[in-house]
Amino acid sequence: MTENTYAIADLKDKRASAAGRIVDLRREIDKLQADLVHIDAVLRLYGLEPAEIPNKGRMPIRGTYFGRNELSRRCRDELREKGSIRADDVAVRAMLDKGMDPEKDRKTRADFIKRVLVSLHDLRKAGTVEKIGHGRGVKWKAIFTAQHDADSTH
């Protein structure tokens, strides 16, 4: 063990440096998110919807709970069944389907809701869903066009 003393000390330093950088980046993210809230509020004063402004450099992070396109598929299925949905409804159903308790695991539920909202915003940009309202009570409904209806009958 004594021959690895320098290597261990170096690894400890690298780990401490990486952990410190993560803390700094999280602080920066928190500040940027707070800035966004204020910027969005001012944009709304001017009659603009911040969600319609494209983000630069969005890099989706795939969660371990969902497969490729699973969330958008779940959203479309729920829309077909109910006509209009809330992100929380989709998240709760997904948690129940995966054997999780949405009432006890609030952190995972919040993460699922955020991921569902990202999928719904992507569907909105694609022109397949419409957002109804703002804030916590926002609902989403499917947009059916003549072309979409013709495609679904074949």
Q: Does domain 63-153 have CATH number 3.90.76.10?
A: no
Scan for tokens 């699922």, then name that residue. 112
- The secondary structure of residue 150, as a DSSP letter, is H
- Domain ranges in the chain are 2-45, 63-153
pLDDT band at 73 (very low <50, low <70, confident <90, very high): very high
Centre a 10 Å sphere on the Cβ of residue 74 and count the other Cβ atoms it contains.
Answer: 19
pLDDT in tens, 95-126: 999 899 999 988 889 989 999 999 999 999 98
151/5 Cα distance (integer angstroms) = 67
Mean pLDDT score of the chain: 84
Task: Please give the pLDDT value at position 146.
Answer: 46
Among residues 48, 54, 72, which one has the least CA distance to residue 142? 72
pLDDT in tens, 78-95: 999 998 999 999 999 999
Collapse the DSSP code of 92 into the 3-class scheme (helix H, G, I; strand E, B; otherwise coil) and give the result. helix
Alpha-helical segments (H) within 46-132 = 70-82, 87-97, 106-125
The pTM of the full predicted model, rounded to 2 decimals, is 0.55
**DSSP of 102-118, one letter per residue?**
TTT-HHHHHHHHHHHHH
Per-residue pLDDT at 65 exceeds 50: yes
pLDDT band at 49 (very low <50, low <70, confident <90, very high): confident
Per-residue pLDDT at 153 exceeds 60: no
Per-residue pLDDT at 60 exceeds 80: no
Beta bridge partners of 85: 140
